[in-house]
């Protein structure tokens, strides 16, 4: 098999590539943003996102099929539904926050971000967690070593060195990741 085909296979198996299949377009992220803001109804998503109904319908269907949201009938309106986050959708919230923080830090107007998230109990802005190394120091890209995980395909085992789970950390991460699968 050519290295290009092996690379495509590795991308197909990559959890980031799989996540991007679900949430990797502009509309899906904006729909999730509104869901995190409390929006549940089709017409509200349409208004707040500024999305055409046919595109919204397709994206909501994709998010429902992927298990990120579920479609719940409205008892007061037969034939109408609301869209609510599942546990899988709620688990994406930290990733959304990381994207929002990056946007606020690098792309917001000089006046500041459009919205700020407050800790409901304390009434203060939430604190974004800082990624840290094992020794507690701030994590930098240069501090990260990439090793094949327990589910690595042959291409990634060769690319990142050795058998999957060759280090205890990779095995532990693989075991944790499988716990929430589908």
Averaged pLDDT, 145-150: 89
Give CA–CA dist 110/96, Å, rounded: 22
Domain ranges of the chain: 1-91, 132-182
pLDDT, residue 149, reads: 87
Averaged pLDDT, 139-149: 93
The confidence band for 163, taking pLDDT boundaries of 50, 70 and 90, is: low
How many residues are recorded in the chain? 182
Answer yes or no: are the C-beta atoms of 69 and 86 closer than 8 Å.
Answer: yes
For the chain, what is the mean pLDDT? 88
| pTM of the complete model | 0.84
Share in percent of the chain as helix, strand, coil (round to 5) = 50, 10, 40
Taking only the tens place, the pLDDT of each residue in 24-44 is 999 999 999 999 999 999 999
Nearest by Cα to 173 from 139, 154, 146: 146
Q: Which CATH class is domain 1-91?
A: mainly alpha
pLDDT, residue 86, reads: 98
Taking only the tens place, the pLDDT of each residue in 52-98 is 999 999 999 999 999 999 999 998 888 899 999 999 999 999 999 99
The confidence band for 136, taking pLDDT boundaries of 50, 70 and 90, is: very high
pLDDT, residue 102, reads: 95
């Amino acid at each position: 098999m050519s290295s290009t085909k092996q690379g495509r296979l590795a991308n197909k198996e990559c959890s980031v590539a799989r996540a991007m299949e679900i949430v990797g377009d502009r509309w899906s992220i904006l729909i999730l943003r509104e869901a995190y803001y409390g929006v549940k109804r089709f017409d509200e998503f349409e208004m707040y996102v500024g999305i055409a109904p046919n595109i919204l319908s397709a994206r909501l269907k994709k998010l429902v099929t992927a298990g990120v949201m579920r479609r719940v009938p409205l008892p007061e309106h037969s034939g109408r539904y609301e869209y609510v986050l599942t546990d899988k959708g709620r688990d994406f919230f930290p990733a959304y926050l990381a994207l929002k923080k990056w946007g606020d830090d690098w792309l917001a107007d000089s006046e500041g971000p459009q919205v700020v998230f407050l800790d409901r109990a304390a009434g203060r802005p939430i604190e974004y967690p800082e990624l840290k190394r094992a020794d507690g120091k701030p994590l930098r890209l240069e501090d990260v070593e990439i090793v094949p995980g327990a589910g690595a395909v042959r291409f990634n085992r060769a690319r990142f060195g050795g058998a999957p789970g060759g280090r205890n950390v990779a095995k532990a991460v693989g075991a944790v990741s499988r716990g929430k699968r589908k």
